[in-house]
Amino acid sequence: MKLRLKFGTQFKVAEVDGESLLSSLIEKAASLFNLTTSNVLVSLNATDFYASSDGRLKLKDIGIVPGDIIYVQSLVQSDDIRRTRSCEVLNFSKLDSLTDL
Residue 74 has pLDDT above 90, yes or no: yes
Question: Is 51 a member of any domain?
Answer: yes
DSSP result, 30-99:
HHHHT--GGGEEEESSSSSEE-GGGTTSBTGGGT--TT-EEEEEES-HHHHHHHHHHHHHHHHHHHHHHH
For residue range 30-70, list pLDDT tens digits in order: 999 999 999 999 999 999 999 999 999 999 999 999 999 99
Question: Is 91 a member of any domain?
Answer: no
Please report, for the domain that includes residue 43, its CATH number.
3.10.20.90
Question: Is 57 a member of any domain?
Answer: yes
pLDDT of residue 18: 84
Phi-psi region of 21 (alpha: psi -120 to 50; beta: other; left: phi over 0): beta
pLDDT of residue 76: 87
DSSP 3-state assignment of 16?
Answer: coil
Question: Is 24 a member of any domain?
Answer: yes
Mean pLDDT of 15-43: 95
Question: Is 84 a member of any domain?
Answer: no
Tell me which residue range forms the domain holding 9: 2-75
Question: Is 94 a member of any domain?
Answer: no
